[in-house]
């Protein structure tokens, strides 16, 4: 029961703060609401017994990505209020599209059958130990490749961020 209450609570907070991300006038508020959303999502991960992901999620999103957002907002002084708004029509169309994609997603996903349990002998898959085993055996290659991705992303970011000489 507690789990269910927790689920509803976290979901409600996540959805409300997600909506607030869009509704806030100032980008800095959006960033903060987004951080809140991410924390609730971390809670969801814990609910799903994926402790490792929860930790990584907090570190990566709240720790790194949101800091990046905040820095961008602050350093470029982008915290301008309501400077540009789309027309009402566009907003309506956007809402319509969002609603439609919601329905369509539900329709697509609801028929998924997950009753088959693939690794019944495994317990606690969300723990670091188990995930690590899988990661370093089956997914070693993508894991190593992702480091190259990071490296190139780093190089790219530095290159783009550099001030033009001319």
Using CB under 8 A, which residues numbered 100 to 119 contact other proteins? 100-102, 104-110, 112, 114, 116-119
Residue 89 as a binder of other proteins (CB under 8 A): the answer is no
Closest by CA to 28, choosing from 87, 58, 88, 71, is 71
Residue 144 as a binder of other proteins (CB under 8 A): the answer is no
Residue 140 as a binder of other proteins (CB under 8 A): the answer is no
Residues touching other proteins, count (CB under 8 A): 93
Q: Which of 141, 160, 165, 166 binds other proteins (CB under 8 A)?
A: 160
Q: Please give the helix or strand (H or E) that residue 57 lies within, else none.
A: helix 51-57
In three-state secondary structure terms, 76 is coil
Q: Minimum CB separation from other proteins for residue 116, in Å? A: 7
Q: Which residues of 87-110 are buried (b: 16+ CB within 10 A; e: fewer)?
A: eeeeeeeeeeeeeeeeeeeeeeee
Q: Which of 9, 74, 142, 144 binds other proteins (CB under 8 A)?
A: 142
Q: Which of 55, 74, 141, 156 binds other proteins (CB under 8 A)?
A: 156
Residue 32 as a binder of other proteins (CB under 8 A): the answer is no
Residue 98 as a binder of other proteins (CB under 8 A): the answer is yes
DSSP 18-47: HHHHHH-SSHHHHHHHHHHHHHHHHHHHHH
């Amino acid at each position: 029961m507690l789990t269910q209450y927790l689920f509803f609570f976290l979901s409600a907070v996540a959805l409300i703060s997600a909506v607030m991300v869009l509704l806030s006038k100032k980008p800095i508020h959006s960033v903060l609401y987004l951080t809140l959303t991410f924390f609730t999502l971390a809670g969801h991960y814990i609910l799903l017994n994926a402790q490792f992901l929860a930790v990584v999620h907090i570190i990566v999103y709240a720790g790194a990505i949101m800091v990046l957002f905040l820095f961008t907002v602050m350093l470029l002084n982008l915290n301008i209020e309501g400077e540009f708004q789309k027309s009402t029509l566009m907003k309506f169309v956007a809402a319509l599209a969002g609603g439609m994609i919601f329905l369509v997603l539900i329709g697509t996903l609801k028929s998924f059958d997950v009753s088959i349990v693939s690794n019944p002998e495994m317990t606690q898959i969300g723990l670091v130990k188990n995930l690590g085993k899988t990661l370093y055996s089956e997914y070693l290659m993508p894991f190593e490749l992702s480091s190259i991705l990071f490296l190139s992303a780093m190089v790219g970011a530095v290159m783009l961020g550099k001030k033009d000489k001319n």
